[in-house]
């Protein structure tokens, strides 16, 4: 019975690890590379009022990254608040803001054009970003551990307590 339950958990977890993104530098970001560690995926926008949360994301990455946490920013222009090119996003995030965690190219997160990861969040879990800086915590086996809106800072206790339980 336990073996069947483990197989079912594994089956439901596989799709999350099957997702890939394209990094700002054009590289492939493959979620399967991070199997066994938690990943905080955040849809971002450089011109949003919540952009100050980039600092919180960097703080999380610096504190928990050495223990295994991955923070992944997914810039999106779905709410018309992202810069006009991946190069501008790279300059803003890497040079001006000093972010060191992985960042994807500008990616749709809502509607029929949404990235497959965000389609999975919507279809399997009923979570669609309602604005920029929505956070999805993916657990070590690909399970969704939590989803928080823009107003919840990445360093909020609700998120950090889940991160700590998911660290190896």
pLDDT digits (tens, 9 = 90+) for 106-147: 999 999 999 999 999 999 999 999 999 999 999 999 999 999
Give the pLDDT confidence score for residue 76 in this predicted structure: 98
Active-site residues: which are they? 48
Q: Of all residues in the chain, what percent are helix, strand and coil, respectively (each to 5)?
A: 40, 20, 45
- pLDDT higher than threshold 80 for residue 8: no
Domain 2-166 = CATH 3.40.30.10: yes
Give the pLDDT confidence score for residue 15 in this predicted structure: 54
Give the pLDDT confidence score for residue 18 in this predicted structure: 82
5-9, 20-24, 76-80: lowest mean pLDDT where? 5-9
Among all chains, which residue has been given the structure tokens 């307590």?
161
Give the pLDDT confidence score for residue 17 in this predicted structure: 64
- pLDDT higher than threshold 60 for residue 4: no
Q: Would you place residue 6 in the very low, low, confident or very high pLDDT band (cuts 50, 70, 90)?
A: very low
Give the pLDDT confidence score for residue 168 in this predicted structure: 85
Question: CA–CA separation, 4 vs 90, rounded Å?
Answer: 45
- pLDDT higher than threshold 50 for residue 73: yes
Q: How many CB atoms lie within 10 A of CB 157?
A: 9
Give the pLDDT confidence score for residue 2 in this predicted structure: 41
- pLDDT higher than threshold 50 for residue 28: yes
Closest CA to 75 of 39, 99, 105: 105
The edge-to-edge listing of strands for the beta sheet with 39-44 is: 70-75, 39-44, 135-138, 144-148
Q: How many CB atoms lie within 10 A of CB 144?
A: 18
Give the pLDDT confidence score for residue 34 in this predicted structure: 94
4-18, 51-65, 69-83: lowest mean pLDDT where? 4-18
**pLDDT tens digit string along 96-107?**
999 999 999 999
- The pTM of the full predicted model, rounded to 2 decimals, is 0.90
Domain boundaries, the chain: 2-166
């Amino acid at each position: 019975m336990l073996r069947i339950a483990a197989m079912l958990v594994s089956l439901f977890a596989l799709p999350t690890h099957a997702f890939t993104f394209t990094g700002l530098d054009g590289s492939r970001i493959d979620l399967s590379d991070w199997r066994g560690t938690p990943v905080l995926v955040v849809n971002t926008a450089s011109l949003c009022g919540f952009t100050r949360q980039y600092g919180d994301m960097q703080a999380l990455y610096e504190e928990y990254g050495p223990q295994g946490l991955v923070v992944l920013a997914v810039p999106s222009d779905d709410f018309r608040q992202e810069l006009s090119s991946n190069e501008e996003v790279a300059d803003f995030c890497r040079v001006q803001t000093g972010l060191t965690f992985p960042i994807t190219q500008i990616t749709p997160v809502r509607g029929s054009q949404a990235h497959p990861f965000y389609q999975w969040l919507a279809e399997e879990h009923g979570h669609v970003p309602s604005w920029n800086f929505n956070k999805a915590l993916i657990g070590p086996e690909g399970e969704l551990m939590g989803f928080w809106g823009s107003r919840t800072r990445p360093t909020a206790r609700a998120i950090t307590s889940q991160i700590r339980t998911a660290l190896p």
